[in-house]
């Protein structure tokens, strides 16, 4: 353990205690500071990052339990170890219920406390590793969603493989719903930065003022409502990847600030003066025609050339219809598991409709259509009537002249009767209607049992 990278804040109103702990941990190689009361402690927590807070339960003005709650609001990952001269079970249990790691009693044995700090650092490390592992598993699961066997998609996979080995800036272009974020995560997941986070910002989801704070962070009091210092997404992406989705929607003023960060990897938080450096790999995505946006004066030419180093184009689903069956069956399999519903296939008639539709919403729309069909459909397969209405409407021209509902019903009843050898009870059960209704339909459609 590199102790110089572990920050310890000692909060105690007794000078002798905090001075002794300060010297002990400083001499042992830790980064350490002290605070005499809760307000000083909160100020130091807002100014800098700390791994462990050694916190006296009894403090003037605000007790340690309330201060622990405030610490959680500022940074929920800080490990709190309580210090008390009043080793009552009640105060100790209350502190642990609020999330404290452990507590020690005065007089403090430095060796015991140092052992406790080591355990706390190890727990914090394991917690961080678990979070990274969960993120990695989620990213790998999402990468499995990139499906395609068409030449266009095979080319995309090859470009992802090639560029993942570099640190080049990537611009992913394509219509909404084509899976641009999945491609960004695939690049990150196969890069040397994969053990660090990928931080995503949807630039079109924030007004200009909020986007500035989202990207650069802010200092306490920078604007109304900024009660605490907050790290921005650029700072959080240090070591990993910053994915700016919908980069074409970023406001003009922010384009200037972003260009500066891309070139220098340095920035300041909103309302701050401290220059912060972040080592991140940049991936951008857009569904806009950036060349037209430049001509219209809405997108800076210098920023365009800075982000357009390596381009990957994701074709819309209508340009790779051969992948529709693969994707559709993949979604059926996934929803069958999550819904615990034994629908495992898609009837040829339903697949024909899926293949004929233009899919303006691309893969996302196909996913939604299959989810809807899985909800309303019955085992074992998705049928045409389970699909959203608009699919059939737009598919008319490509599918050809469809039969009327009565013609489809007549044909289906005839098939079921033939398969069951005209066993009325069994046929009615398969059709999920009663025997009387089935007899009425047989008469209506003039069906005759074969001689």
Say what the pLDDT of residue 417 is: 87
C-alpha span between 140 and 144 (Å, rounded)? 6
DSSP summary character for residue 152: H
Residue 87: its pLDDT value, please?
56
Q: Are strands 52-56 and 241-245 parallel, antiparallel or unpaired?
A: unpaired
Mean pLDDT for the chain overall = 86
pLDDT confidence of residue 398: 44
Sheet holding 79-84, edge to edge: 31-35, 7-11, 52-56, 79-84, 102-105
Mean pLDDT of 197-204: 92
What does the DSSP 8-state code read for residue 298? S
pLDDT of residue 19: 93
Residue 144 confidence (pLDDT) above 80: no
- Per cent of the chain over pLDDT 70 is 92
Q: Is the dihedral of CA 291, 295, 297, 301 positive or negative?
A: positive
Q: Compute the average pLDDT of residues 71-78.
A: 83
Which range is most confident: 95-109, 110-124, 244-258?
244-258
H/E element, 314: strand 310-314
Q: Give the model confidence (pLDDT) of 418-438 as tens digits.
A: 888 888 888 888 887 888 888
Distance separating alpha carbons of residues 420 and 340, to the nearest angstrom: 29
pLDDT, one tens digit per residue, over 278-308 is: 999 999 999 999 999 999 999 999 999 999 9
Q: What share of the chain is helix, strand, coil (3-state, %, to 5)?
A: 55, 15, 30
* Cα angle: 14, vertex 18, 20; to 5 degrees: 115
Judged against a pLDDT cut of 70, whether residue 157 lies above it is answered with: yes
Q: Where are the beta strands (DSSP E) in 57-211?
A: 79-84, 102-105, 170-174, 198-202
Q: What is the pLDDT of residue 396?
A: 47
Judged against a pLDDT cut of 80, whether residue 247 lies above it is answered with: yes
Residue pair 321/353 in contact by the 8 Å Cβ criterion: no
Sequence-separated (6 or more) residues with CB below 8 Å from residue 88: none
pLDDT for 395: 46
Q: What per-residue confidence (pLDDT) applies to 245?
A: 95
- Predicted pLDDT of residue 145: 67
Give the tens place of pLDDT for each residue, 391-405: 765 444 444 445 667
End-to-end CA distance of the chain: 88
The pLDDT value recorded for residue 403 is 61
Is residue 142 pLDDT above 70, yes or no?
Answer: no
Distance from C-alpha of 33 to C-alpha of 21, rounded to nearest angstrom? 10
Cβ burial, residue 178 (10 Å; 0-12/13-18/19+):
buried
pLDDT tens by residue, 251-270: 988 999 999 999 999 999 99
119-128, 234-243, 409-418: range with highest mean pLDDT? 234-243
Identify which has the larger pLDDT, 430 or 360. 360
Share above pLDDT 90 across residues of the chain, in percent, rounded to a whole number: 49
């Amino acid at each position: 353990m590199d102790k110089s990278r572990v920050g310890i804040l000692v909060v105690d109103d007794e000078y002798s205690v905090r001075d002794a702990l300060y010297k002990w941990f400083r001499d042992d190689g830790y980064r350490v500071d002290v605070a005499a009361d809760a307000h000083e402690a909160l100020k130091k927590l807002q100014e800098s990052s700390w791994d462990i807070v050694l916190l006296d339960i009894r403090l003037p003005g605000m007790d340690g339990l309330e201060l622990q709650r405030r610490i959680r609001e500022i940074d929920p990952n800080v490990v709190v170890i309580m210090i008390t001269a009043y080793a009552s079970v009640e105060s100790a249990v209350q502190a642990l219920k609020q999330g404290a790691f452990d507590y020690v009693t005065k007089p403090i044995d430095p060796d015991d406390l140092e052992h406790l700090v080591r355990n706390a650092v190890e727990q914090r490390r394991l917690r961080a590793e678990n979070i990274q592992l969960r993120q990695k598993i989620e990213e790998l699961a999402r990468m499995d969603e990139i499906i395609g066997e068409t030449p266009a998609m095979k080319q995309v996979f090859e470009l992802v493989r090639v560029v993942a080995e570099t640190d080049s800036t990537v611009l992913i272009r394509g219509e909404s719903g084509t899976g641009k974020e999945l491609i960004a995560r695939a690049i990150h997941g196969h890069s040397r930065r994969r053990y660090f986070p990928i931080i995503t910002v949807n630039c079109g989801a924030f007004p200009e003022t909020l986007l500035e704070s989202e990207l650069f962070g802010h200092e306490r009091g920078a604007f109304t409502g900024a009660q605490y210092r907050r790290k921005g997404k650029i700072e959080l992406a240090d070591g990993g990847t910053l994915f700016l989705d919908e980069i074409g929607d970023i406001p003009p003023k922010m384009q200037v600030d972003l260009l500066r960060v891309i070139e220098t990897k340095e920035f300041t938080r909103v309302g701050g003066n401290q220059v912060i450096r972040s080592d991140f790999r940049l991936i951008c995505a857009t569904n806009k025609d950036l060349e037209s946006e430049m001509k219209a004066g809405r997108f800076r030419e210098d920023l365009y050339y800075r982000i357009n180093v390596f381009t990957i184009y994701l074709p819309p689903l209508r340009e790779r219809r051969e992948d529709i069956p693969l994707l559709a069956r993949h979604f059926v399999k996934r929803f069958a598991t999550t819904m615990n519903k034994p629908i495992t296939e898609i009837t040829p008639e339903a697949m024909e409709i899926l293949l004929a539709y233009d899919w303006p919403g691309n893969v996302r729309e196909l996913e939604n259509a299959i989810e809807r069909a899985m909800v309303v459909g019955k085992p074992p397969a998705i049928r045409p009537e389970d699909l959203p209405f608009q699919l059939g409407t737009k598919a008319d021209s490509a599918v050809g002249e469809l039969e009327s509902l009565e013609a489809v019903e007549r044909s289906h009843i005839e098939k079921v009767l033939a398969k069951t050898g005209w066993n009325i009870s069994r046929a009615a059960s398969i059709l999920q209607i009663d025997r009387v209704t089935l007899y009425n339909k047989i008469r209506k459609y003039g069906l005759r049992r074969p001689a």
